[in-house]
């Protein structure tokens, strides 16, 4: 989920698809796993008591041995769409690590230092929750990349992704407090063309993905409040390939430069240099790919998608350092437009502020809605469809009151100029004591 750069700081800037085993048509999971469970030779005893005509008198007929029922085995492959719990695919509850990258130069010692290894071991549960969320993210986006095609409505895309995430972590989020245990880290971003971020379809949205669209897919998955934030871009017309490649390469450069003691402003400079080295030709015009300078990467805190540090995607004088224990979302946005976004359009994204003031709310609808938000989302971002899903109705007046009173923050869509195209790639990294771990890395990007 994108972090918007503070306006007053802008002036200071110097510039594989896991092939799931599909059940065969006509076979349910029990049949596929256990064979014919309803034919266990239960009538063999009757045969013994009532010999067939013509059998010799006194002859003893041997009883057929009853075949033991086979125990159900845990599934070993993901379904399509993804519905098999990640915890069943990894029955030991130890989830795959992301890409581990050793530190270099003065931090090289950390890889083998016993003290740092001990500090790493103390956070095994924290890392495992993150890896659990990351595996759910990988398997969900794998399905999304394979299946999303022109002709799909944005609502169907959002539901397909979010239903998958909830199924994989085993929390549907319909019971009070369930969504706080695991599930969506924030509403799925489905931003088209000149819209770069924070778009999610509200109820009644009729938008349909077109062949010439550029779609940013930003997915957040959390387990126990530990949020994996990772995004990719889909385009079906190859003319946009250089734009997508620019963002992917710039994100990878940001990941390469990240690490303990890395200065955030300098990382932005490296990202900018890579991004601006790409050009894209559209309708006979050539555009240098521009980084969207008022969108940033960011730290992630428990149940808080935007922490206190920002990673610019243009060079800046920010001397803030990355530190041991930080969790960062490294994300880049490229544009054929102005390289600057503004808020425009109907709001779908909201989040309760972590520093929300205690306000004497006059509207009873605002009070009851805040109670629903506290019990189901806390400070995790949510959208209007999530409220609809919980059975809330006629809540807009109360929601707007919470926003006006500074209790809830609204996040309108962020757009560049009309007619331009934007792309995004993003990964989450753990700045561990011994290595940096690109927790959301996969075979796809």
One of 129, 162, 218, 326 is an active-site residue; which one? 218
Six-digit token string for 202: 């509200």
Query: Is there a binding annotation on residue 39?
Result: no
218 counts as catalytic: yes
Residue count of the chain = 445
Give dist(CA 5, CA 11) in Å, integer: 11
User: Of 285, 309, 286, whose CA–CA distance to 297 is shortest?
Assistant: 309
Active site residue 331: yes
Q: Which of 162, 229, 253, 326 is catalytic?
A: 229
Residue 339 exposed, middle or buried by CB count within 10 Å (0-12, 13-18, 19+): buried
Closest C-alpha to 304, from 410, 381, 370: 381
Other beta carbons within 10 angstroms of residue 29's beta carbon come to 12
- The C-alpha atoms of residue 227 and residue 241 are separated, in whole angstroms, by 29
Q: CB atoms < 10 A from the CB of 320, how many? A: 14
426 annotated ligand-binding residue: yes
Identify the active-site residue in 132, 306, 349, 427: 306
Please give the structure tokens belonging to residue 178.
Answer: 């369930």
What is the distance, to the nearest Å, from the Cα of residue 385 to the centroid of all Cα atoms in its chain?
17
Distance in angstroms (rounded) separating the CA atoms of residues 196 and 227: 21
In 3D space, the residue among 314, 305, 339 whose CA is nearest the CA of residue 414 turns out to be 339
Residue 298 a catalytic site member: yes
CA 381 to chain centre: 13
Helix, coil or strand: residue 183: strand
Pairing outcome for strands 295-299 and 3-4: antiparallel
Catalytic residue among 129, 162, 318, 426: 426
Q: Please, what sign has the CA dihedral across residues 413, 418, 421, 422?
A: negative
Q: Are 239 and 383 in contact (CB under 8 A)?
A: no
Of 162, 326, 331, 437, the active-site residue reads: 331
137 is in an annotated binding site: no
The response to whether 198 counts as a known ligand-binding position is yes
- C-alpha to C-alpha distance for 428 and 437, rounded to whole angstroms: 8
**What does the alpha-carbon distance between residue 18 and residue 55 come to, in Å, rounded to a whole number?**
58
Q: Which of 137, 194, 222, 298 is catalytic?
A: 298
Q: CA 93 to CA 109: how far, in whole Å?
A: 30
Asked if residue 413 lies in contact with residue 341, where contact means CB atoms within 8 angstroms, the answer is no
Task: Establish whether 331 is an annotated binding residue.
Answer: yes
Q: What is the DSSP letter of 258?
A: -
* 182 close to 128: Cβ distance less than 8 angstroms: no
**Residues in CB range of 18: below 8 A, 6 or more apart:** 77, 78, 139, 142
**Binding-site annotation, residues:** 198, 218, 229, 298, 306, 331, 426
**Binding-site annotation, residues for a divalent metal cation:** 218, 229, 298, 331, 426
Q: Which residues are tagged catalytic?
A: 218, 229, 298, 306, 331, 426
**Binding-site annotation, residues for substrate:** 198, 306
């Amino acid at each position: 989920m994108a972090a918007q750069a503070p306006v007053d700081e802008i002036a200071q800037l110097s510039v594989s698809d896991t092939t799931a085993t599909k059940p065969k048509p006509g076979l349910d999971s029990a049949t596929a796993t256990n064979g014919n469970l309803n034919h266990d030779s239960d009538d063999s005893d009757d045969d013994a008591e009532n010999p067939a005509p013509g059998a010799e008198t006194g002859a003893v007929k041997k009883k057929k041995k009853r075949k033991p029922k086979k125990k159900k085995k845990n599934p070993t492959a993901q379904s399509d769409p993804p519905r098999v719990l990640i915890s069943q695919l990894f029955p030991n509850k130890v989830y795959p690590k992301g890409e581990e990258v050793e530190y270099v130069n003065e931090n090289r010692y950390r890889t083998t230092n016993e003290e740092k290894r001990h500090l790493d071991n103390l956070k095994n549960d924290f890392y495992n929750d993150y890896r659990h969320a990351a595996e759910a993210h990988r398997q969900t986006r794998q399905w999304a990349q394979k299946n999303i095609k022109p002709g799909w409505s944005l609502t169907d895309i959002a539901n397909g992704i979010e239903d998958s995430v909830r199924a994989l972590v085993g929390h549907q989020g319909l019971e009070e407090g369930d969504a706080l245990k695991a599930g969506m880290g924030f509403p799925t971003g489905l931003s088209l063309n000149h819209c770069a971020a924070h778009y999610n379809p509200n109820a009644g949205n009729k938008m349909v993905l077109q062949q010439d669209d550029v779609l940013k897919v930003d997915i957040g998955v959390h387990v126990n409040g530990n949020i994996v934030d990772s995004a990719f871009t889909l385009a079906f017309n190859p003319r946009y390939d250089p734009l997508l490649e620019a963002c992917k390469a710039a994100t990878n450069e940001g990941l390469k430069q990240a690490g303990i003691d890395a200065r955030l402003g300098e990382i932005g400079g490296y990202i900018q240099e890579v991004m601006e080295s790409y050009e894209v030709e559209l309708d006979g015009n050539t555009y240098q790919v521009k980084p969207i300078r008022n969108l940033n990467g960011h730290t992630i805190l428990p149940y808080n998608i935007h922490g206190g540090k920002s990673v610019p995607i243009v060079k800046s004088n920010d001397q803030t350092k990355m530190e041991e224990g930080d969790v960062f979302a490294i994300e880049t946005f490229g544009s054929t437009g102005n390289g600057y976004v503004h808020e425009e359009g109907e709001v779908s994204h909201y989040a309760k502020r972590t520093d929300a003031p205690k306000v004497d709310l006059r509207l009873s609808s605002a009070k009851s809605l805040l109670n629903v938000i506290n019990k189901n989302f806390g400070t995790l971002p949510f959208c209007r469809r999530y409220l609809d899903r919980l059975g809330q109705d006629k809540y807009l007046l109360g929601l707007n009151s919470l926003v006006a009173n500074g209790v809830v923050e609204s996040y309108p869509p962020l757009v560049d100029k009309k007619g331009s195209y934007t792309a995004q790639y993003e990964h989450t990294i753990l700045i561990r004591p011994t290595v940096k771990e690109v927790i959301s890395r996969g075979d796809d990007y």
